[in-house]
Structure 1
């Protein structure tokens, strides 16, 4: 009996070691964020500096990652482009989180016809492919990073709303909610001060997992010409601009930003799933 009693304590206090893949992914993300923050200091050239005499130059001491068809240094453009390529997905998810969490909590708290209405709205939005829905909005309001962020934020909202609703449905049945109601606290205060904060870790973990998809979605829009516009150094736009150079045998203009996108997305997915699991296990 003594052995059985001690077992949970021993396993419960054992520290959880980070897998090697998670450490590598976190290191890559840390370096990318650091490079984006220090881009004006460490980039060897201005991102829009044109040198036609160095058009499609390969790797060299002057251009470590080569140049594009306009002679612009790819290393400098990738470093500066990291800012847009990382900040825009954060803003996108912020929009989706505000709208999605609000709808999800509202639906779970009130139930009835409000829950049915929110469910039907999310079903209608799910009926359209996310990219098609985004392109339709961009067609009305015009291209650009701001429009892409808002449009994709709306496209991600139903996903966040459904996830939040599933969490909130079980949360509203917990005893502390009834206790606050008995004390005379209104539903808005209970949700804002207690319900939403209790859902915070799980929702944050889910948003971390969605970050990689947000990066890819914005890069896709920029590649198609709907997102960032020249002379932006957005990675998706750089891939689109470097595509024509591939025909001439120059792979670096498309390969360099494409590799940057792949590294960030894979690293976020690896580290994000681990972080989401840790955040969820603390509930």
Structure 2
């Protein structure tokens, strides 16, 4: 038998699930990385391109906390400045891919028929074609550089986002409010832009957060292969490629420091991204 609750007594509401400690650690780490990138001119002890051949391949010292590379450039300064490119470029890449992918996915889900079939065939062909090979072919035509790499990878990521958008848009399109707006005489493009796509925003943003780590790793890979950022850039992938030769001389820091930075940021984004995608999906 349940006791009656006295009048005026408020019952406690449902407790929100606590955030896992791993997500909190990863989120704090990413916040510090973004802050360090923004404050790089204030935090870096040297200019990223300052060459000092007398300090070539120096280990950790008071003057160089993370050591130097073969040219005597301070690794801490280069990693701090390189964080800007390494974080901003994936963001631009996903922005381009999201514009193309969301547009194609929404169009396929809304129109159906031959439009859906055409978009599905295009995305299937893109999936069958190795993504890295597709990117390399575009770079071979338009030349190396970070801009070309961002555009090429944006095109490579677009089919993945288009397929995901199509799947969630089909479920959203079947809801009754869509039919209500159509009965009122509202045009399809207006319904999609004003109601359908905004209602998909939570799911799409969560999915993009998951893809951020993959985008960062892909750009670092292209820079490592010589297709992305070019010297004297301090991009992390390029730093790993430049520091690889020093391993033969027993100097591990020039390759280890930027490589660790890439790995740590990718893992942190994956942890935060999976949690964010689950939370946003549940709220939707």
Could you state the TM-score of these two structures normalised by the residue count of structure 2?
Answer: 0.96
CA distance in 2, matches of 1:90, 1:212: 10
CA distance in 1, matches of 2:108, 2:14: 38
CA distance in 1, matches of 2:13, 2:192: 32
Written as runs of structure 1 = structure 2, the 5 A alignment for 1:159-170 is 159-170=160-171
CA deviation after TM superposition for structure 1 residue 12, in Å = 7.6
CA deviation after TM superposition for structure 1 residue 2, in Å = 6.5
CA distance in 1, matches of 2:221, 2:244: 14
Aligned length: 277
Written as runs of structure 1 = structure 2, the 5 A alignment for 1:235-246 is 235-246=236-247
Which residue in the other structure is 1:84 paired with? 85
CA deviation after TM superposition for structure 1 residue 182, in Å = 1.0
- The reply on whether 1:117 has 2:118 as its aligned counterpart is yes
Deviates more, 1:67-76 or 1:129-138: 129-138
> How big is each residue's C-alpha offset from its partner over 1:229-279, in whole Å with a ceiling of 9 and x where there is no partner?
000000000000000000000000000000000110000011111111111
Deviates more, 1:187-196 or 1:121-130: 121-130
CA distance in 2, matches of 1:236, 1:225: 9
Which residue in the other structure is 1:229 paired with? 230
Which residue in the other structure is 2:45 paired with? 44
When residues 168 and 83 of structure 1 are mapped into structure 2, their CA distance, relative to the original with a 3 A threshold, is same
Which residue in the other structure is 2:127 paired with? 126
- The reply on whether 1:154 has 2:155 as its aligned counterpart is yes
CA distance in 1, matches of 2:283, 2:68: 48
CA distance in 2, matches of 1:260, 1:68: 16
CA distance in 1, matches of 2:130, 2:282: 32
- The reply on whether 1:93 has 2:116 as its aligned counterpart is no
Deviates more, 1:232-241 or 1:271-280: 271-280
> How big is each residue's C-alpha offset from its partner over 1:163-218, in whole Å with a ceiling of 9 and x where there is no partner?
00000011111111011111111000000000000000000000000000001000
CA distance in 1, matches of 2:33, 2:21: 18
> How big is each residue's C-alpha offset from its partner over 1:40-86, in whole Å with a ceiling of 9 and x where there is no partner?
11100000000000000010010000000000000000000000000
Which residue in the other structure is 2:32 paired with? 31
Which residue in the other structure is 1:6 paired with? none
CA distance in 2, matches of 1:40, 1:224: 28
Any gaps of 5 or more consecutive residues in structure 1?
Answer: 4-9
Which residue in the other structure is 2:275 paired with? 274
- The reply on whether 1:61 has 2:62 as its aligned counterpart is yes
Which residue in the other structure is 1:193 paired with? 194
Which residue in the other structure is 1:7 paired with? none
Written as runs of structure 1 = structure 2, the 5 A alignment for 1:204-223 is 204-223=205-224
Deviates more, 1:10-19 or 1:204-213: 10-19
CA deviation after TM superposition for structure 1 residue 135, in Å = 0.5
Any gaps of 5 or more consecutive residues in structure 2?
Answer: 4-10
Q: Secondary structure of 1:44's partner?
A: coil
> How big is each residue's C-alpha offset from its partner over 1:21-46, in whole Å with a ceiling of 9 and x where there is no partner?
11110111011000000001110000
Q: Secondary structure of 2:244's partner?
A: helix
